Structure 1
Amino acid sequence: MSSKITAKNLAELFYDSAKKFEDQPAFGTKNNVRQFTMMSFREVYETGVRLATGLIDLGLKAHDHVAVLSENRIEWIITNYGIILCGAADVPRGTDVTDGDIRYILPHSDAKMVFVENEVTLGKIEKNISELKNITHIIVMDSDINASNEADHKNGKIQFHPSSQSFPKVISMIDLIAKGKTLIESGDRRVEERVTAIQPEDLFTIIYTSGTTGEPKGVMLTHANMISQLKNIPINIGPSDRFLSILPVWHSFERVFQMGTIAMGATQYYTNVRNIREDLMIVKPTFMASAPRLWESLYQGMQSKIQTSSLIKKVLFKLAYGCALKIQRSIQFLKGNRLDLYGRNLFQSISFALLSLVSIIVLFLPYLFLDLIVLKKLRLATGGKLRGSVSGGGSLPFHIDEFFNTIKIPVFEGYGLTETSPGLAFRTPKHFVVGSVGRMFPDTEILLKDFETGDVIYPPKKGIKGEIYVRGPQIMKGYYKRPEATAKVLTYDGWLNTGDLGIMTFNDTLKIVGRTKETIVLLNGENIEPVPIENKLIQSQLIDQVMVVGQDQKYLGALILPSLDKFSNYGSTYEQLAINNVVQEKIEQEVKNLIRIENGFKSFEKIVEVRLLPKSFEVGDELSAKLSVKRHVVAAKYESLINSMYDGKSQLKVLIKK
């Protein structure tokens, strides 16, 4: 992509794309009759310029901040255009934003205006308006809300009436765009002046991370940060590509894909979790950004379908997958892409190469036949045209990673943080090492340090775990108005402590093995990474969600959400399953079977106690927008349940087990 991008900031990028791709479809969103309606690159840009003109006329200055509370929809990207073309920066969140988020983020970010998606979100702003002293205007995206000035409630709905000294002015986004159009037709060229003044180091967004621990921090990302991402993402995309947007539209990972489609002239379609299966069939995407949870869901759905099939179909699948696995592993080894954490000598390399060649020769024809009659049908689950999906925002379990890549649904796992815009490493077809997150981005430096001593492990040592430090053009400017928090993770010479643990493989790719903030330290001093244990447990069809606990305790425990489908005979709700002794015993036995020395776990990594959860983890509560478990939230919510694992009765149970 690097040779095709010459823009110095995102406003220039928007202009260049509108000029180059003109009437080609840019973004699609579903209308009231569930059909995708499209806007061209030129339409999106011109509408964005009109909105920007309207915002400037309202008094929005260059470098001001504007909050945006919306989900994936065409109005979001138009709003994004409008704010950036003003030379301002957005402060985006979803509509699931809490009262606490509103009262903290909007004042802390110094947002002057706020865009809201709908009446419900507008109600949240109105409810907390006394805390939002800086907000001068509220712009409503939905066109069916009568927006004027003062809010009250009638029949449970918010209505607005003119003239209020205390309530910010409420404006319809459509009306603001229309006003901007009128101003432009009368000769207003203030947007052009703003665009020429934008510098690469100016902010384009402040993203408040919900994260898994601690208070939200506003990550400041610059135009230069995002442009560097677009220049270095090693994906070949163009106007014939179709992207399906499902991740939170305001998240940095999804935004790179948005900007990438704009830069390369590809089309992006907005969808959501409820409609994902239907829209995969309609859009037949060639690329998409995704989170591990999506692949876990698809994997479980495929496995359930296979398990309920006839004996012949089960046998055919096992044969097809077995052949494909042998073929793919052999091909990847010959390409130098089989995960290597320990290094291989010449004899081992020659032996593996010969075995790989034999496997390919013997199994190639059966593989082609079985792929045609079995695995091809599985690929239709994603529309049948998927050339690649980048999984990010969390660790992709190895068995799921290998499964989809084996059946030729390419999952290019990547690695990064909001603080790194977000891309740091990326798996590509050339360096496709399943089990790793690929090679580091161009112009990106990496150090692996010993967590205890701070000594540098890599470079030069490979195959040894260390805490990941990175430096490059994608590193954030810092946390907004949080110099102390910034200093904790970002050194004076530009090195960012990611808080993640990684290994540099002998394939020269990075493997993520845990997070220092997730690390559980037992009373005996053993440091345990819970993620690999959780990934193993989540493979079970009996388990839907899990979180390992045990900080400062003698042994590990686990909070587990049992599968409603698999235990339907014992209850119809999670609450009923949580108090059922039979379900408890079956889950305990399953955990014991999975987490044992024979499966590669150490004795102190065994799960001694299990407690069943009465409800699932949900986004906005126990899960972040990236679907990562907020460990501190879960620990606080289920404190008594966790404590029950370590009371006297449980201690006695440990002695008996020993």
Structure 2
Amino acid sequence: MVTRIFDLLDNYQQHFPDKLSALVKKEDGVWISYSTQDYIRNSNLLAFAFLELGLKKGDRVISISNNRPEWNFLDMALAQTGLVHVPLYPTIGSKSYNYIIEHCKPVAIFVANESHYTKIQEAVDNQISVPKIYSFDQIKDVANWSTLLKLGAESEDHQKEKLVEIKNSISPKDLLTIIYTSGTTGTPKGVMLSHHNFLSNVLASAERLILNSSHKVLSFLPINHVYERMVNYQYQYKGLSIYYAESMDTIGENLQEIKPHGFATVPRLLEKVYDKIMTKGKSLSFFKRSIFNWAVNLGYRYELNRANGEWYEFKLKIARKLVFKKWQEALGGNILFMCSGGAALQVRLERLFWAAGIPVQEGYGLTETSPIIAANQSTWPDIRFGTVGPLIKGVEVKIADDGEILAKGPNIMLGYYKDPELTKQVIDEEGWFHTGDIGCMEDNKFLKITDRKKEIFKTSGGIYIAPQVMENKLKESPFIDQVIVIGEAERFPAVIISPNFEFLESYAKRKNIPYNSKEQIISNDRIIKRIWRELIKNNKHYDHPKRIKSMRLVTDTWTPETGELSPTLKLKRKVLREKYRDLIKDIYTN
């Protein structure tokens, strides 16, 4: 029975002992497979080595790595020995590394490559007690993880009984991991999750997963993030072959190579796929473009359960054959399952992908909820567009008087590491976790998210503005890559827009608008007026006091690397407001 994370190894041995491609990575242009037995063996050898080195149950170990099989070997070894895994994003800044290393005081740090090692060197050197550093790749003067495998093999005979003893002592309620939030506001918080937290989510969501051990999946979202990590465990529980993408830049190529049956994603990546397809569609000849536009417009009207009638379904069949088949091929041609989380998915994209025969299931949760609270399923009637679906098994939700979503269940975190006061602020005396999100239940079954409680603001006229709703609607425009709605305590709401320059440049060429730089293109009156038309169209959805009254275009592309987005591609509002302080001042003083 799977009650602790390392029980997944026994589950492998029992149900999938002969699987040759449990975990797969690409190295130097070649896909390298690790079998079930490789996975179990490497995890055990690392566990023996940790015991031999004297690491104790409860000690913290940090990992900074891309998605790869070695991460899993480490993760399972730590789980078996009662060590606490603290996985960090490779993209966070030195300030965050300094804080986290000081806060959790790790006994060891594992890095994937030299780039990661360089980033944490300074933070490690600042510590009184310097943790041991190991690397997955070969790095000069850094201990390689293979030395631990060797140590584990040498110490196996006299550590085997001790490992069994420690495993038997580990309770499902014991601390498994500390996941530091990406920190869109303030200092990162260390979310403590137990074996039971994660596995309650894994087992409940696995019941809904239509894939089985004959299928393969592509993993590319950061594995240290709670969402991809839970999905990674879910894949293992079901015995799927997990292929780890080389990087976020090679996703398209990797999809074509392995032709997976599913993957987890975030809305921003689906938006980019959509933008690329639409840009390509606009460059087609008149006849092909007409067919393309007809299919897309048909897709926007897609309804589940054949609700549009047989005539619509007949036209959709033609559209899939003429247009949408190529969309499927772009994703490898075998997609049966996509789950989307981390942020709100545009309803029109949800409809469009389903119309194209590419089912995408939106879900919802937080790091503190391990993570899933609710998720749409793959079949009617357990899916509804515009919602995040039914609650998963074992989870309860109630809506507070102010609209905040409160959750209770086996997935709720143990608390924030070293911060009981902050824990009390979010988990009340009755055990309800306060999510900070605003929402409602539709038909007493489907959870719908409307905004972030902390992001809702009031103008100086006392009008409440829900920025996320506006931003998601505005991002439906092909002209807009990212946008932030501002206006707290000001006379009116306004926006700062990071345009979709790939589309914008294509548009400028079609309209014979000259430009030599990004600065020139966003300063062009015709471009400004054209984007303003997108805002006018969007404003029709709101009462007059809530309408956008001003905008500014910027040349910056917002990314996690440049700091405007979190690693999960959410807006860092505080960072953006500070970055564009002068621009905001200009908006409200003119």
**TM-score exceeds 0.5:** yes
Equivalent pair of 1:286/1:385 in contact (CA under 8 Å): yes
Write the distance in 2 (CA, Å) between the matches of 1:578 and 1:52.
56
| Bigger radius of gyration | 1
- Out of 531, 538, 553, the residue aligned to residue 475 of structure 2 is 538
Aligned to 2:52, what secondary structure does the other structure show? helix
Deviates more, 1:245-254 or 1:603-612: 603-612
Equivalent pair of 1:95/1:117 in contact (CA under 8 Å): no
Write the distance in 1 (CA, Å) between the matches of 2:199 and 2:172.
9
Equivalent pair of 1:114/1:135 in contact (CA under 8 Å): no
Aligned to 1:385: 334
Write the distance in 1 (CA, Å) between the matches of 2:253 and 2:157.
42
- Out of 566, 591, 596, the residue aligned to residue 539 of structure 2 is 596
Deviates more, 1:39-48 or 1:6-15: 6-15
Per-residue deviation, residues 263-318 of structure 1 (Å, max 9, x unmatched) = 11101111121101011111211121100011101111111121111222223234
Distance apart, 1:330 and its partner CA: 6.3
Aligned to 1:440: 391
Write the distance in 1 (CA, Å) between the matches of 2:526 and 2:317.
45
Distance apart, 1:578 and its partner CA: 4.7
Matches within 5 A, 1:141-180: 141-142=136-137, 144-147=138-141, 170-180=142-152
- Out of 564, 574, 579, the residue aligned to residue 632 of structure 1 is 574
Distance apart, 1:495 and its partner CA: 0.4
Distance apart, 1:248 and its partner CA: 0.7
Aligned to 1:132, what secondary structure does the other structure show? coil
Say whether 1:605 aligns with 2:577: no
Aligned to 2:282: 307
Between the aligned residues of both structures, percent identity stands at 32
Read off the aligned partner of 2:554 and give its amino acid letter.
L
Aligned to 1:115, what secondary structure does the other structure show? strand
Write the distance in 1 (CA, Å) between the matches of 2:527 and 2:18.
58
Equivalent pair of 1:21/1:42 in contact (CA under 8 Å): no
Per-residue deviation, residues 150-192 of structure 1 (Å, max 9, x unmatched) = xxxxxxxxxxxxxxxxxxxx52111111111121156643322
Per-residue deviation, residues 472-508 of structure 1 (Å, max 9, x unmatched) = 1000001101112111111122100000011211272
Aligned to 1:642, what secondary structure does the other structure show? helix
Say whether 1:618 aligns with 2:559: yes
Equivalent pair of 1:564/1:572 in contact (CA under 8 Å): no
- Out of 296, 318, 322, the residue aligned to residue 373 of structure 1 is 322
Distance apart, 1:368 and its partner CA: 2.6
Aligned to 1:259: 233
CA RMSD in angstroms, aligned pairs only:
1.9
Read off the aligned partner of 1:604 and give its amino acid letter.
P
Aligned to 1:478: 415
- Out of 14, 33, 51, the residue aligned to residue 56 of structure 1 is 51
Deviates more, 1:565-574 or 1:511-520: 565-574
- Out of 72, 83, 87, the residue aligned to residue 82 of structure 2 is 87
Aligned to 2:270: 295
Say whether 1:28 aligns with 2:24: yes
Read off the aligned partner of 1:643 and give its amino acid letter.
K
Write the distance in 2 (CA, Å) between the matches of 1:363 and 1:332.
8
Equivalent pair of 1:139/1:173 in contact (CA under 8 Å): yes
Write the distance in 2 (CA, Å) between the matches of 1:211 and 1:126.
22
Aligned to 1:221: 193
TM-score (norm 2): 0.93
Aligned to 2:374: 425
- Out of 451, 463, 468, the residue aligned to residue 514 of structure 1 is 451
Write the distance in 2 (CA, Å) between the matches of 1:573 and 1:390.
38
Read off the aligned partner of 2:163 and give its amino acid letter.
V
Aligned to 2:70: 75
Per-residue deviation, residues 308-365 of structure 1 (Å, max 9, x unmatched) = 1122222323444455565x426354xxxxxxxxxxxxxxxxxxxxxx4xx32x3444
Write the distance in 2 (CA, Å) between the matches of 1:44 and 1:70.
18
Say whether 1:587 aligns with 2:531: yes
Read off the aligned partner of 1:289 and give its amino acid letter.
A
In structure 2, runs of 5+ residues without a counterpart are 509-513
Equivalent pair of 1:111/1:134 in contact (CA under 8 Å): no
Matches within 5 A, 1:527-566: 527-566=464-503
Distance apart, 1:511 and its partner CA: 1.1
Write the distance in 1 (CA, Å) between the matches of 2:527 and 2:473.
19
Aligned to 2:393, what secondary structure does the other structure show? coil
Write the distance in 2 (CA, Å) between the matches of 1:562 and 1:330.
33
Say whether 1:273 aligns with 2:248: yes
Equivalent pair of 1:574/1:615 in contact (CA under 8 Å): no
Equivalent pair of 1:595/1:605 in contact (CA under 8 Å): no
Read off the aligned partner of 1:584 and give its amino acid letter.
I
Matches within 5 A, 1:317-332: 317-323=292-298, 328-329=302-303, 331=305
Equivalent pair of 1:562/1:574 in contact (CA under 8 Å): no
Distance apart, 1:580 and its partner CA: 4.6
Deviates more, 1:71-80 or 1:312-321: 312-321
Aligned to 1:194: 166
Change (3 A) 1:50 1:535: same
TM-score (norm 1): 0.84
Write the distance in 1 (CA, Å) between the matches of 2:251 and 2:45.
32
Change (3 A) 1:582 1:365: closer
Aligned to 1:607, what secondary structure does the other structure show? coil
Read off the aligned partner of 2:578 and give its amino acid letter.
A
Distance apart, 1:385 and its partner CA: 0.8
Runs (4 or more) in structure 1 with deviation over 6 Å come to none
Read off the aligned partner of 1:486 and give its amino acid letter.
T
Equivalent pair of 2:101/2:124 in contact (CA under 8 Å): no
Aligned to 2:511: none
Change (3 A) 1:235 1:566: closer
Matches within 5 A, 1:103-142: 103-142=98-137
Write the distance in 1 (CA, Å) between the matches of 2:13 and 2:373.
29
Read off the aligned partner of 1:101 and give its amino acid letter.
S
Say whether 1:286 aligns with 2:235: no
Aligned to 1:440, what secondary structure does the other structure show? coil
Write the distance in 1 (CA, Å) between the matches of 2:226 and 2:383.
24
Write the distance in 2 (CA, Å) between the matches of 1:324 and 1:566.
21
Aligned to 1:85, what secondary structure does the other structure show? helix
Equivalent pair of 1:53/1:191 in contact (CA under 8 Å): yes
Write the distance in 1 (CA, Å) between the matches of 2:104 and 2:185.
20
Write the distance in 1 (CA, Å) between the matches of 2:316 and 2:528.
42
Equivalent pair of 2:22/2:34 in contact (CA under 8 Å): yes
Deviates more, 1:312-321 or 1:195-204: 312-321
Aligned length: 576
Aligned to 1:243: 217
Read off the aligned partner of 1:518 and give its amino acid letter.
E
Aligned to 1:99: 94
Write the distance in 2 (CA, Å) between the matches of 1:595 and 1:363.
28
Read off the aligned partner of 2:543 and give its amino acid letter.
K
Aligned to 1:411: 360
Aligned to 1:65: 60
Read off the aligned partner of 1:645 and give its amino acid letter.
I
Aligned to 1:153: none
Change (3 A) 1:370 1:124: closer
Write the distance in 2 (CA, Å) between the matches of 1:611 and 1:321.
30
Read off the aligned partner of 2:267 and give its amino acid letter.
P
